Amino acid sequence: MMFRSIICIASLATIMNAVAQPGQNQPPLLACGEQGNVEIICNTRAPEDFEVTPDGRFLIVANFGRAEDQALDLYNLQTKQFTEIPLSDDPRNGWGEASCTQSLGSRVGAHGLSLSRRSSGEWQLYVVNHLERETMEMYELLPEGDAWKLVWHGCVFADEPYNDVAALADGGFIATRPQAIQQEGQNLFAGQPSGNIARWHEAGGEEVLAASEYGYPNGVTVSDDADMAWISGWTTQTLHRYDLNTQRETGRIDLGFMPDNLTWTPAGKILAAGIKGVGGNCPQNSDSPCIQGAMVAEIDPDTLQMSVVFDNQGRALISGTSVAIEAKGNIYIGSFQGTRMLRLPR
């Protein structure tokens, strides 16, 4: 399983580098600190996905591709400091598969995150992991002094590598599998179906959902009642609404950029963040960065009406945009590479 995980990380890194390296005509990224209405926050480590802690005081940060040390941080929204989340182990029935009996300790290759409350009351954090084994790692989030800690309770072994996850109140989850059906020699960026969506429950294990084949399905989120899912098609630049009961798509919107992770706003809208200008549409001048382009859109989950929340508008602020989340009246934007994230007023 370790060998397979190494292959997965290498494959993901190849894909990310193909779309996120600065082009020949691009200026360097702007300096850290205030840049107009945007603050560039540095000294982080590929902050690929975020969740807001229940008290609203911290971001949980997944540092994508970290192999040499812990990949889960807390970001204090007031002090603007990053700290590693304390981890401990307590295997527990009802959290994942019975065959997963040992944690990875601090050796977690974090990717997608999902924080939600179980029907039994615990705050559960599910973490897509690519290091040493392909798994969904399951933690309980608990108070620790004036901050938070994570206690590992179990995991699920992935049949195909996951990308993002939406944890369910009953202990199950919905996850994207972006390369599960990719054919040998297939050009991922052509937008053809390359992956699908899976649902896992303790009783039945993993089930691939019908008619869920998309072009690099990336981010996923679900409704509170777990009846509906929203899925981002990264290479098709689309967002899909999917009925989990009837297992069919019920809506789709073209976004005009490559959406990655999806998060909920306090007002019940969906934030989709991603990169723009990829696929031959790059302006050939240094005033309009292309591959470093960043977009965030807010989408009504029912009507799928979209409004642009953030557009880098030619400013070289961040490379590899992957997530946006609202917290304390600000929107924080992360990336699957580099050492920075952004903050902008809501």
Q: What is the DSSP string of 81-133?
A: -EEEPPEEE---TTSS-TT-----TT---EEEEEEEE-TTS-EEEEEEE-SSS
Asked whether the CA dihedral 211, 226, 297, 325 is positive or negative, the reply is negative
Which residue(s) pair with 177 in the sheet?
A: 196
Take residue 2 and report the two structure tokens written for it. Answer: 């370790």
- What's the pLDDT at 277? 74
- What's the pLDDT at 4? 42
- What's the pLDDT at 236? 97
Give domain status of residue 259, yes or no: yes
* Residue span of the structural domain in which 328 resides: 33-42+255-346
What would the pLDDT profile of 217-263 be if each residue is shown by its tens digit? 999 999 999 999 999 999 999 999 999 999 999 999 999 999 999 99
- What's the pLDDT at 33? 98
- What's the pLDDT at 69? 73
Higher pLDDT, 254 or 188: 254
If pLDDT is split at 50, 70 and 90, which confidence band does 19 have?
A: low
Q: Name which of 344, 261, 232 is nearest 62 in CA terms.
A: 261
HSE-CB for 54 with a 13 A CA cutoff: 16
75-104 mean pLDDT: 97
Q: Which helix (H) or strand (E) holds 243?
A: strand 238-243
189-196 mean pLDDT: 95
Residues of the chain with pLDDT > 90, as a percent, come to 82
Give domain status of residue 301, yes or no: yes
Give domain status of residue 305, yes or no: yes
C-alpha 331/C-alpha 272 separation (Å) is 12
Give domain status of residue 128, yes or no: no
Q: Which distant-in-sequence residues (6+ apart) come within 8 Å of 303 by Cβ? A: none
Domain count, the chain: 1
pLDDT score of 105 more than 90: yes
Give domain status of residue 226, yes or no: no
C-alpha 233/C-alpha 178 separation (Å) is 9
